[in-house]
Amino acid sequence: MTPILEVTRVRKTFGGVVANRDVSLSVPEGKIYGLIGPNGSGKTTLFSSIVGTHPIDSGSIKFRGEEVSRLRVPQIARLGLLRTFQQTRIYGKMTCVQNLLISVPPAALSWRSMLARPSAAETKKAEDLLQFVGLHAKRHLRAGDLSFGQQKLLELAMALMSEPRMLLLDEPTAGINPTLINDLIDRLRRINAELGITLLVIEHNMRVVMGLAQYIYCLAHGELLAEGEPAAVKSDKRVIEAYLGAH
């Protein structure tokens, strides 16, 4: 089976800093993969390269067999590849429901739909998703007034509203109350299993990523350090050293 996402020898530099040095990874359709690495190892940079936030220096990025490394952000998003942000991004002055209602799948955003009202089905779906992430009681609050953790959940719901094929999640558990983390892991699994969305998850919480991901890539200093099943990566000497060395 061809992978849904295939990153080949991607290199990205900021001035003198090499944030990604010839990184290659591939994610098969329907799986949950993890991306770990110490702070500043280039994980977020790689996400940004994949979704088209900045140009890459060299390498290739294929999504469902199509080269996307020269496309721009909205074009890639419309192919069904979305990311959430480490520093959450939501529409702060709009309510939670509105945040979801404008996140409908791009295919529903034809010229004509510009004048349309949100349909009953869309409103229902928005409310269901808010229920799903546990923000239903806050659905009419301004999104900007939510806490950081709640905004992360809202952003996740927005991404789901858009029915992507693949989601890149940048530290989904950051800011989430530890007692709720298990819930969240459970939800992410359901997203993957029930909605069939392929996930690539950046995560610092080892317990989470080991439990969630089926396969893990580890970056250090911008380079791919190790990859493999969770158990193998966990016991990989280089990974342990990288984490210890970074602190």
Partner 1 sequence: MKRSILRAAVLAFLIAFPALLPAWRTQMSYLVIMIVFSLTWDLLGGQMGYNSFGNVLFFGIGMYVCAVVQRDAHFSYPATLALGIAAGAAAAVAVAAILGSGILGLRGHYFAIGTLGLGIAAGELAAGWDFVGGGGGMVPPQYPGALGGRETFFYYLAAALAVATFFTLRWLYGGRFGLAVNAIRDDEDKAEAMGLWTTRYKTAAWCVSAFFLGIGGAIVGNVSGFIDPRETAFAGSTYGVWMVLMAILGGKGTLWGPVLGAVIFHITKELFWTYLLDWQQVALGFLIVVIVIFFPVGILGWAREKWPEKFGHRVEEAKPAEASG
Partner 2 sequence: MENLRLLFDAPILTVQLLLDGILIGAIFALAAYGMMLVWGVLNIINVAQGELVMLGGYVAFFLFKAGINPLFGVPVAAALLFVVGWLLYRVVIFRIVDKDLFISILATFGLSILIQQLAKVAFSPDVRTPQAGFGTISMFGGAVTVTWIKIISFAAALTTGGVLVWFLRGTRMGQAIRATAQNARAARVMGIDTDRVYAWTFGVNAAICGASGALVAMTYLVDPYIGLPYTIRSFMIVIVAGLGNISAVLATAIGLGAAENISAFLFGAEYQIAFVYGLLVVILISRRIVLARQRRYLA
Ligand X SMILES: Nc1ncnc2c1ncn2[C@@H]1O[C@H](COP(=O)(O)OP(=O)(O)OP(=O)(O)O)[C@@H](O)[C@H]1O
- Total residues contacting partner 2 by CB under 8 A comes to 6
By the rule CB under 6 A, 44 interacts with ligand X: yes
Q: Which two tokens stand for residue 247?
A: 């602190």
Instruction: Candidates 1, 14, 16, 247: give the one binding ligand X (CB under 6 A).
Output: 14
Q: Which two tokens stand for residue 24?
A: 């290659």
Nearest distance, CB of residue 194 and partner 2, angstroms: 34
By the rule CB under 8 A, 55 interacts with partner 2: yes
Nearest distance, CB of residue 74 and partner 2, angstroms: 11
Contacts of 244 (CB under 8 A, 6+ apart): none
Instruction: Candidates 72, 89, 124, 207: give the one binding partner 2 (CB under 8 A).
Output: 72
Q: Which two tokens stand for residue 36?
A: 């770990």
Surface-to-core class of residue 157, CB atoms within 10 Å of its CB (0-12 exposed, 13-18 middle, 19+ buried): buried
Nearest distance, CB of residue 144 and partner 2, angstroms: 14
Q: Which does 113 bind (CB under 5 to 8 A by kind): partner 1, partner 2, Mg ion, none?
A: partner 1
Contact 73, 55 (CB under 8 A): no
CA atoms within 13 A on the CB side of 109: 10
By the rule CB under 6 A, 40 interacts with ligand X: yes
Q: How far apart are the first and last CA of the chain?
A: 39
By the rule CB under 8 A, 144 interacts with partner 2: no
Q: Is 95 helix (H, G, I), strand (E, B) or coil?
A: strand
d(CA 43, CA 150): 23
By the rule CB under 6 A, 52 interacts with ligand X: no
Chain contacts with partner 1 (rule: CB under 8 A): 51, 53, 72-74, 77-78, 82-83, 85, 89-95, 98, 101-103, 106, 109, 111, 113-118, 136-142, 145, 158-159, 162
Chain contacts with ligand X (rule: CB under 6 A): 14, 17, 19, 37, 39-45, 86
